[in-house]
Amino acid sequence: MPEGNFQSRWLAPGVDDVWNQFLTVTHRLEHQIDRRLQDNHGITHTQYEILVRLADAPKHALRMSDLAERIVTAKSAVTYQIGKLADMGLVERHKCESDNRGVWVKLTDAGRERLEKAAPCILSLVRELFLDAITCDQADELNKLLETWAGNLDRIERGA
């Protein structure tokens, strides 16, 4: 931890409230989506996102490292989730022919079917828990904020 006045590094009360509310709301949204997907379709939100990324990829396949990057998580977490999805028959793993360390993940027909059945659940949840609660103007403002944060993260991750 850098030296200096620790107290001066705390967030101001109003800003602290915004940050805590942001964390609480995002965690609660994730929990609701996760719970409903598990109850209705037997998969987690992370597993759903993996299936979506594979469905959108050429030949419905991605290298494990590319998949981890696209869902913004650690490779070990993707490996764990892919193991669960493979056990359910929703994806298949294949060694990369050009790189013995690489692994390809491919969406199976069963995975595509599960995704197609779960998609309406996600869409209704996005509407019910998120979009129906805000106006079009609020959605535009939120989008501007998200673009600002994404740009800041891009700059930091590029090391600029």
Give the model confidence (pLDDT) of 72-118 as tens digits. Answer: 888 889 999 999 999 999 999 998 777 777 889 999 999 999 999 99
What's the pTM value of the predicted model, to 2 decimals?
0.84
160 and 82 together in one domain: no
- Comparing CA positions, the residue from 53, 156, 32 lying closest to residue 112 is 53
Domain co-membership, 46 together with 124: yes
Residue 14 lies in a domain: no
Instruction: Print the domain residue range for 139.
Output: 134-160
Q: Give the CATH number, domain containing residue 123.
A: 1.10.10.10
What pLDDT sits at residue 8? 57
Q: What is the pLDDT of residue 1?
A: 42
| 117 and 49 fall within a common domain | yes
In the predicted model, residues of the chain with pLDDT beneath 70 are 1-8, 160
Strands (E), the chain: 61-63, 91-95, 103-107
Residue 41 lies in a domain: yes
Q: How far apart are CA 20 and CA 73, in angstroms?
A: 22
The verdict on residue 40 lying in a domain is: yes
